[in-house]
């Protein structure tokens, strides 16, 4: 088994519910508590296993790896772009679609442990506290063995590991290992807390080794991507690119006389 998450960047609204549910579940779970430093003070601080970053993704004049570009709204004709550059000045630098609207998207990207196949965080660990389970590929930290040297967090490119300042041990996503195998829970609830809490169902949990699982199918259908594959960590989690949406028709302002507008409105009302 190769358990992991698929995260749909198309539907994620960046509400942070996954991070909050994660914190709530795991602070009382097997690796808990997840301590906070001055949670009600000036600089609230603490260990989180899931963090959401928001990016502006500007696809103007480029072919985007994540987005199917065949009928892209972002690439207007060359002459149009020149025209846009000339007429819109500054805003053209930020990217302009073919209908003149900005071609940038706001993308929310929740990040937790990628459950890498080549998990360097495990190999650098001198105490054997970090380990990767052979049966399902989940990377865990044995809280009783960790000496808090931070080396695993240095070895992780995804920022998935955070030191608990109060206990001096490393915390990371467990993929809710204390939920997903719990026979006392109904089967529909044997999923990580982040997946259950997601209001837009942007997070899907499953076995990537099984080609018929939902995560495998989604990855194939929507070209799920790994982050920073060039580092060679072979992360398990996949991110689904935003779907290509049709252009939203721009409202056209006409110079119709007020009287004809009023007639049209009256006709519409009578027709009802």
Q: Could you list the residues that contact other proteins (CB under 8 A)?
A: 16, 19, 42-45, 47-48, 51-60, 62-67, 95, 106-107, 109, 111, 120, 122-129, 144-151, 153-159, 162-163, 165, 167-169, 225-233, 239, 241
Q: ∠ CA(233), CA(237), CA(243), 5° rounding?
A: 125
Q: How far is the CB of 124 from other proteins (least distance, A)?
A: 5
Of 123, 42, 265, 70, give the one whose Cα is nearest residue 131: 123
Q: How far is the CB of 223 from other proteins (least distance, A)?
A: 10
**75 contacts: CB under 8 Å, gap ≥ 6:** 60, 61, 63, 69, 98
For other proteins, the closer of residues 51 and 83 by Cβ is 51
Side-chain half-sphere CA neighbours of 168 within 13 A:
5
Q: What is the per-residue DSSP string for 82-125?
A: HHHHHHHTHHHHT-B-TTSSB-EEEEEEEE-----SS-HHHHH-
Buried b (16+ CB within 10 A) or exposed e, 71-108: ebbbbbeeeebeebeeeeeeebeebbbbeeebbbbebb
State the distance between the two ends of the chain, measured CA to CA, in whole angstroms.
60
For other proteins, the closer of residues 110 and 137 by Cβ is 110
CA 188 to chain centre: 22
For other proteins, the closer of residues 56 and 182 by Cβ is 56
For other proteins, the closer of residues 47 and 179 by Cβ is 47
For other proteins, the closer of residues 87 and 106 by Cβ is 106
Q: How far is the CB of 157 from other proteins (least distance, A)?
A: 4
Q: Is 137 exposed, middle or buried (0-12, 13-18, 19+ CB in 10 A)?
A: buried
Q: How far is the CB of 182 from other proteins (least distance, A)?
A: 29
For other proteins, the closer of residues 42 and 254 by Cβ is 42
Side-chain half-sphere CA neighbours of 86 within 13 A:
6
Q: How far is the CB of 42 from other proteins (least distance, A)?
A: 8
For other proteins, the closer of residues 32 and 157 by Cβ is 157
Q: How far is the CB of 192 from other proteins (least distance, A)?
A: 19
Q: How far is the CB of 61 from other proteins (least distance, A)?
A: 9
């Amino acid at each position: 088994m190769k358990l992991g998450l698929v995260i749909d960047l198309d539907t994620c609204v960046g509400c942070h519910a996954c991070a909050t549910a994660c914190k709530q579940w795991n602070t009382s779970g097997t690796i808990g508590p997840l301590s906070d430093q001055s949670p009600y003070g000036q600089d609230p601080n603490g260990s989180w296993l899931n963090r959401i970053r928001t990016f502006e993704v500007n696809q103007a004049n480029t072919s985007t790896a994540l987005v199917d570009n065949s009928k892209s709204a972002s690439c207007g004709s060359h002459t149009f772009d020149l025209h846009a550059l000339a007429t819109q000045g500054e805003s053209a630098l930020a990217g302009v679609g073919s209908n003149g609207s900005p071609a940038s998207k706001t993308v929310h990207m929740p990040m937790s442990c990628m459950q890498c196949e080549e998990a360097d965080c495990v190999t650098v660990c001198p105490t054997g506290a970090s380990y990767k389970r052979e049966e399902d590929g989940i990377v865990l930290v044995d809280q009783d063995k960790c000496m808090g040297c931070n080396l695993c967090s240095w070895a992780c490119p995804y920022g998935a590991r955070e030191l608990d300042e109060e206990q001096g041990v490393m915390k990371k996503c467990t993929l809710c290992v204390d939920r997903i195998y719990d026979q006392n829970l109904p089967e529909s609830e044997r999923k990580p807390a982040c997946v259950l809490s997601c209001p837009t169902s942007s997070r899907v949990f499953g076995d990537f080794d099984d080609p018929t699982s939902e995560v495998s199918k989604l990855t194939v259908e929507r070209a799920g991507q790994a982050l920073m594959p060039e580092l060679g960590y072979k992360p398990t989690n996949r991110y689904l690119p935003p779907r290509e949406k049709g252009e939203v028709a721009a409202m056209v302002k006409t110079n119709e006389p007020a009287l004809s507008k009023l007639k049209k409105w009256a006709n519409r009302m009578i027709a009802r």
